Amino acid sequence: MQIIPLSQIKPNPNNPRKINPESLHGLIESIGQIGVLEPIQVARDGGKSYRIVFGERRYHAALAAGLKEIPAIVANKELTPEEEFEMLLVENLQREDLTPIEEATAFRTALDLFGCTQAALATRLGISQPQISNTLRLLKLPEDVQQDVSDGKLSACNARALVAHDEETIRKLEPKLQGATVIAAKKIIEAAAPKPQPDNRTIDILEDLNFRWRQGDINKVITLYAQGCSIREIAKEAGRANATDGKIEVITLLLHLHRQGIVKVNFGLFSKVAR
């Protein structure tokens, strides 16, 4: 641990957490009285400069309290942007410091930065792939609705239930869902925006799928699709030996899951069914 002048430290521009100055009042008062008890962690940023890896709230509170220096742990090696962002993300997830929208934005940044699939990112972070995919769905909402989620006016669960609807329906339903329980929100959505019923042929196929597909198969299809596997590969891995029937089953299942908002299907993929 070192004692580093605050003038040599700068915030991390990639921090997924947005610092609200109003939330620092208690911490500023505490630091002003007893100092910073837990060191921040920093990485070298060239010369005598340092970049915060985590501990940014303590940094800002120390500045506001009038401190000139702060205890810090300096990373013992030069971190790559990927390593640094991974440390930032894991730290915030473990502390549960992120709002749902900040978490979704962080997942999107990580996927772009690492160039990996959701499944690979989930393994890397020690969380489930559905947690990542469900959280990312929040970014499909209009920005003002996302802000209501960040502000705590609308729960993340109720917000996800809006994703499958058009913007006009979202704006009509969102005020009614603020503060509603999950069960109440479901009833509000079903009453105001009932889902279209599939035709009889689709119903027959889905009834057959419900009988033939085990839950494990469905989860495998979701995972393989998220990894970018082709329809043929998904059918084979899911144990469907008959290539044509297997691909039809996979497509029907994906469309069904798409309507339920469980996966977001890229319909362009179906032009490559023969793969």
Q: Which residue has the higher pLDDT, 118 or 263?
A: 118
Q: What is the pLDDT of residues 237-258, one digit of tens each?
A: 655 545 455 666 666 667 766 6
Q: Is domain 83-192 classified as CATH 1.10.10.2830?
A: yes
Same fold across 2-79 and 83-192:
no
Percentage of the residues of the chain whose pLDDT score is greater than 70: 66
- What are the extents of the domains in the chain? 2-79, 83-192, 200-272
CATH T-level topology, domain 2-79 = 3.90.1530
Alpha-carbon distances of 155 from 23, 111, 161, 163, 260, rounded to whole Å: 20, 24, 10, 13, 19
What residues are annotated to the active site?
56
pTM of the predicted structure, to 2 decimals: 0.52
DSSP 3-state of 44? strand
Phi, psi of 173 (to 5 degrees): -90, -30
Confidence label for 121 from pLDDT (cuts 50, 70 and 90) = confident
